[in-house]
Amino acid sequence: MATLKAVRGTRDLLPPETALWNRIEAAARRVFARYNFGEIRTPIFEDTGLFARGVGEETDIVSKEMFTWEDRARAASENPQSLTLRPENTAGVVRAYIEHKLGESGQLQKLYYIGPQFRRERPQKGRYRQFWQIGAEVIGPTSSGSESPLRDAEVLEMLATLLDEMGIAGWTLELNSVGSAADRARYNDTLRAALAPVVDKMCVDCQRRAVTNPLRVLDCKVPEDQPIIATLPVIADSLDDDSKSHFAAVKAALDAAGVEYKLNPRLVRGLDYYTRTTFEFKHGGLGAQNAILGGGRYDGLSEAVGGPKAPGIGFAMGLDRLVLTLQAQEGESAPTKKLDAYVAPLGESLNAAALQLARELRRAGLSVELGDGSFRLKKSFEAADRTARKIVILGEDELASGILTVKDFATGTQTKVPRGELAEILKS
Ligand code: HAM
């Protein structure tokens, strides 16, 4: 029988690498708490319509990359429901915001999430079909201040702090504004006019986008189309005074906080819900998949999926890519932390007593590996040296006298320790 393997684009995360994942997640939770974010966990699958209406039918994500299936009809009279593994989490958070009427408190909602997302992309380094995001959303009724440029600047400042806290160095922040819905409509008209004489030289996707959603032409990755795309008008010229002053206020607040950024007038992002501020953080160490996170404002998303007006801004970091970045930075050979102790019973008759001793030490807060009485002493020492800083030997004499033999591998010294003092000695 052929051996079964993890499905293309998915992978198992194993120790010790998972320790790095946990470290990054712990840093994120710490920083989110300092900025008054609470955790939200939404379902991994949702009604397909949520993503079609929220993320946009013409986006690559919705038109090509979703894992979608028809659920069995609940009754013969009903149509089967179309379900989709979430390709991103913002639409789900906004659905939950609407469903639980979170806007009715009048307070700004600051929500973060950590979890897997699914996109049927071509797998390569840093790009998977199941990948993980750490993300956050700030959303609320206009009266809660959710539209203020200060919120944009605060989110970006938090991201700079978060990356520092995670130990990720050498990133760049790229910033743009894609304007209001009205600005976008004006820009789409401008693009349509600019594309008309050249679009027949472009790929078939662009020919379709030029009609349905010209902004998405800017997402095109086809190399032959890039010289044409480079000549297209930029969105900055289509922004009205309100959008311009909103963007100016975001930049001024970032300047005041000392957060560095680079303007990228072509950064429109591959999801349709964005309005005004959009951003990406790039990292040079990653090759082609160099976006470690992306986000922006989405003032019309709640209404697009049937909710009340609820402007918002948020981001998602690619956890897989953060891990790759840190691994490249720290080198593959980062030392794994050794346990406090290894308990070695001298003979199988001492296994039960060894379990009890290990239990005492673990309950005292020590990290302990438990050996096996079938091991010869030499094998116990080798196993202990690989995993722990000290070995505790438990033979018949030790058990009877309550005086245990402890060897410290770093110094090579061997000492006799009364059982009652063992935990303290091992901690030191
Ligand atoms: P996104 O740019 O599609 O935005 O994804 C955010 C980040 O997720 C990317 O910058 C990248 O690091 C990571 N990512 C995306 N696709 C993959 C993949 N196939 N494999 C590995 N990593 C990947 C969003 O998802 C928006 N929901 C962000 C947002 C939140 N905007 C507002 N609020």
What is the tens place of the pLDDT at every residue in 324-380? 999 998 875 556 789 999 999 999 999 999 999 999 999 999 999 999 999 999 999
Distance CA(64)–CA(122), nearest Å, equals 11
> Please, what is the average pLDDT of the chain?
94
- The last residue of a domain, from among 311, 330, 349: 330
In a domain, 361, yes or no: yes
Token reading at 41: 């966990």
Q: Could you tell me which residues come within 8 angstroms of residue 313 by beta carbon, excluding any fewer than 6 positions away?
A: 137, 138, 139, 146, 151, 152, 155, 277, 295, 296, 297, 298
Residues whose beta carbon lies within 6 Å of some atom of ligand 1: 88-90, 119, 121, 126-128, 131, 133, 135, 137, 271, 291-296, 298, 314-316, 318, 320-321
Q: Give φ, ψ of 297 to 5 degrees.
A: -90, 150
Nearest alpha carbon, ligand 1 atom 30: 315
Query: Exposure of 223 by Cβ count < 10 A (0-12 exposed, 13-18 middle, 19+ buried)?
Result: exposed
In a domain, 75, yes or no: yes
The atom of ligand 1 lying closest to the CA of 119 is 19
In a domain, 299, yes or no: yes
In a domain, 213, yes or no: no
Distance 109 CA to ligand 1 centre (A): 21
The atom of ligand 1 lying closest to the CA of 127 is 20
Residues 143 and 258 in one domain: yes
Q: Which helix (H) or strand (E) holds 329?
A: helix 319-330
- The last residue of a domain, from among 296, 330, 364: 330
Residues 48 and 133 in one domain: yes
Residues 146 and 95 in one domain: yes
Distance 292 CA to ligand 1 centre (A): 8
Q: Domain containing 367: what range?
A: 341-427
In a domain, 356, yes or no: yes
- The last residue of a domain, from among 270, 297, 330: 330
Residues 154 and 251 in one domain: yes
Sign of CA dihedral 137, 142, 144, 145: positive
The per-residue pLDDT for range 14-57, each reduced to its tens digit, is 999 999 999 999 999 999 999 999 999 999 999 999 999 999 99
In a domain, 231, yes or no: no
- Whichever domain contains 165, its CATH number is 3.30.930.10
- Whichever domain contains 348, its CATH number is 3.40.50.800
- 289 or 418, which is more confident? 418
Distance 195 CA to ligand 1 centre (A): 28
Counted domains in the chain:
2
Nearest alpha carbon, ligand 1 atom 12: 318
Torsion of CA 409, 411, 413, 417, to 10 degrees: -70
Distance CA(115)–CA(123), nearest Å, equals 19
What is the pLDDT at residue 74?
Answer: 72
Distance 287 CA to ligand 1 centre (A): 16
Distance 339 CA to ligand 1 centre (A): 36
Distance 388 CA to ligand 1 centre (A): 39
Q: Can you tell me the mean pLDDT for 55-75?
A: 90
Residues 88 and 165 in one domain: yes
What is the pLDDT at residue 285?
Answer: 80
Buried b (16+ CB within 10 A) or exposed e, 401-416: eeebbbbebeeeeeee
Torsion of CA 241, 245, 248, 249, to 10 degrees: -170
Predicted confidence (pLDDT) at residue 247 exceeds the cutoff of 70: yes
Distance CA(244)–CA(149), nearest Å, equals 11
The residues with which 390 forms a beta bridge, in sequence order, are 408
Q: What is the largest CA-CA distance in the chain?
A: 94
